[in-house]
Chain A
Amino acid sequence: MTTVLEVRDLHVVFGEGHNKVHAVRGISFAVEKGECFGVVGESGSGKTTVLRALCGLNTSWQGQILIDGRPVPRRRDPAFCRMVQIVFQDPYGSLHPRHTVDRCLREPLEIQGIGQRDQRIADALDAVGLDRSFRYRYPHQLSGGQRQRVGIARALLLEPKLLLLDEPTSALDVSVQAEILNLLVRLRAERGFTYVLVTHDLSIISHMCERLIVMNVGRIVEAMPVKALRERTPENPYTQQLLQASLGYDRAAVERFQTFD
């Protein structure tokens, strides 16, 4: 198994002076080729910050990020863009309101100077299950699920080694979520993508991933296989509490909840 992504001692600090926020404090993990790696945490855990540092949207990180064994540049160069792509959480904000779907998908190809654009766009739409009739529509004419498919198609066009998924279904209805999750599973099986999936929802992680890390206030609290979730054997009390809360409302269990800071 080859390691596609390796993160060593990642630190991310925002702001200066009193406003300094140490969002990520020394994270290390590795992701193998073709796997779906889960990052779970509540708000403020730093999980989204890790993703943004991985795809280059945040350049003020310290530590090491290696893709295929080679360190990534702090400022993205075109080659880097073809290695890592990201699917955003909010389908309503991730597409330019004035660009048609075609234009949206053409953009990365034009920026990277890739040819055969019409064909590639058509193939990408097919891959995510969007009919040709959607090609020249504007985002406001699409539903949330359809927009998210466009977001996924856009990320696939550059054929990245690593696909980062930032809560890809949290803004969608339950039935639409199922379609998108099935699509992501299918794409991974067909094309061998490697995913890093960030979410707060343990049930999605347990469906999609084999391994996961749990983050709290910028640190990794526990790294475990998904099996441990299913068998309810996490070792860390924070993870146990998170798992308990994810299984449903249990009045007695709530009494025992603590704050982990």
Chain B
Amino acid sequence: MSGEAALPAPGLRAWLLAEAPTSGWQAACGRAYRGWRVFARNPLGMVGLAIVLLLLFCAAFAPLIATADPTLQDLTQRLQPSSAQHWLGTDRMGRDTYSALVYGSRVTLYIVVLVLVISAPIGLLVGSAAGFIGGWTDRILMRITDIFFSFPRLVLALAFVASLGPGLNNAVIAIALTAWPAYARVSRAETLAIRKADFIAAVRTQGAGNRRIIFRHVMPLTLPSVIVRATLDMAGIILTAAGLGFLGLGAQPPTPEWGAMISVGRENILDQWWVAAVPGMAIFVVSLGFNLLGDGLRDVLDPKMT
């Protein structure tokens, strides 16, 4: 049985895998641990997880990992290739590419987390409520969802920052506004499937109202699909953020941001290719990591879809 890499102490393991847990907490931990074991069997999923953890690590410890201040301009060191002092070279303003990359991970993480925190709960709630209550609530909520769905992400983001002004937070809001409809649809589809189940009927006969049923019975079941969908969406969100950054509408200088770095390196791409390629690779790797993580999660959370 695989899983040796993450084998907790025998006592803890026995506690987690106990046949007959003695508390709700133990049961929940045991279930999470079993889910982890299933996930750990998937090598690609683990690779994705490793990449995401690396991103978190870089973001958290950026001051310790970076070798220089990413905003420091040194015009005597412009467009230098990789060297002992500048591991990944410098850009056209003499800024250290490696340090900018590391600090840029903070921006990427900021965008990812904020978009997720805003859009996933909205999508989850809207979809579950629409699917469960049905009738006019469903129709109105779904038409609103359709309206937001019909905007191409980048175009809406452009319109948003055009009206509110460029900046990281505006970019995040703009992306979140176009991300939530997909989660609403996923959540609604799952809700429709479980709405007629006997366990929902049972809790109705006990006197539960819609609110209790949606929050405590429906949403826990639709959450896994939304998580999977959101993780797979991450790649697109990162790319959109990078696109905005590339157009100068995301994080504003001097904040290092991978998309903006590509834009800056665009002019010198033929001779000093590393300036644009390095952040491009970072975007690629992180997007891939989220995709692999999402696939691995889907195998665990929603096995019938694989």
* Interfacial residues, chain A to chain B (CB-CB below 8 A): 55-57, 76-78, 81, 84-86, 88-90, 93-98, 100, 102-103, 107-108, 111-112, 133-138, 151, 154, 158
Interface SS of chain B: helix, strand, loop or mixed?
A: helix
> With A78-B207, A98-B221, A111-B207 given, is the CB distance from A136 to B20 under 8 Å?
yes
Which 3 pairs from chain A and chain B are nearest by CB?
A: A133-B20, A108-B206, A94-B198
CB distance from B206 to the nearest CB of A (A): 4
Contact indicator A158/B201 (Cβ below 8 Å): no
The reply on B23 being an interface residue by CB < 8 A is: yes
Complex Cα distance A154/B203, Å? 10
Q: Chain B residues near A158 (CB, 8 Å)?
A: 206
CB distance from B121 to the nearest CB of A (A): 18
> With A97-B221, A137-B27 given, is the CB distance from A107 to B206 under 8 Å?
yes
The reply on B10 being an interface residue by CB < 8 A is: no
CB distance from A166 to the nearest CB of B (A): 9
Instruction: Identify B20's interface contact among A96, A97, A134, CB under 8 A.
Output: A134
Contact indicator A136/B22 (Cβ below 8 Å): yes
CB distance from A167 to the nearest CB of B (A): 11
Instruction: Identify B205's interface contact among A76, A77, A89, A95, CB under 8 A.
Output: A76
* Interfacial residues, chain B to chain A (CB-CB below 8 A): 19-24, 26-27, 31, 197-199, 201-208, 212, 217, 220-221
> With A57-B201, A94-B198, A97-B221 given, is the CB distance from A138 to B207 under 8 Å?
no
Contact indicator B208/A154 (Cβ below 8 Å): no
> 17 A-B contacts, Cβ less than 8 Å apart?
A55-B205, A57-B204, A76-B207, A77-B207, A86-B202, A89-B198, A94-B198, A96-B199, A98-B220, A100-B24, A108-B206, A133-B19, A134-B20, A136-B24, A137-B27, A138-B31, A158-B206
Complex Cα distance A136/B22, Å? 6
Q: Chain A residues near B26 (CB, 8 Å)?
A: 136
Q: Chain A residues near B207 (CB, 8 Å)?
A: 76-78, 81, 108, 111-112
Interface SS of chain A: helix, strand, loop or mixed?
A: loop
Complex Cα distance A21/B203, Å? 27
Q: Chain A residues near B212 (CB, 8 Å)?
A: 111
CB distance from B224 to the nearest CB of A (A): 9
Contact indicator B202/A137 (Cβ below 8 Å): no
Given known contacts A100-B27, A151-B202, what 4 new A-B pairs fall within 8 Å (CB)? A86-B205, A100-B21, A136-B20, A136-B22
Contact indicator A154/B24 (Cβ below 8 Å): no
Q: Chain B residues near A84 (CB, 8 Å)?
A: 205
Q: Chain B residues near A136 (CB, 8 Å)?
A: 20-24, 26-27
Q: Chain A residues near B21 (CB, 8 Å)?
A: 100, 136-137
Complex Cα distance A102/B202, Å? 15
Q: Chain A residues near B204 (CB, 8 Å)?
A: 56-57, 76
Complex Cα distance A137/B24, Å? 9
> With A98-B221, A137-B21 given, is the CB distance from A107 to B27 under 8 Å?
no
Contact indicator B24/A81 (Cβ below 8 Å): no
Contact indicator B23/A93 (Cβ below 8 Å): no
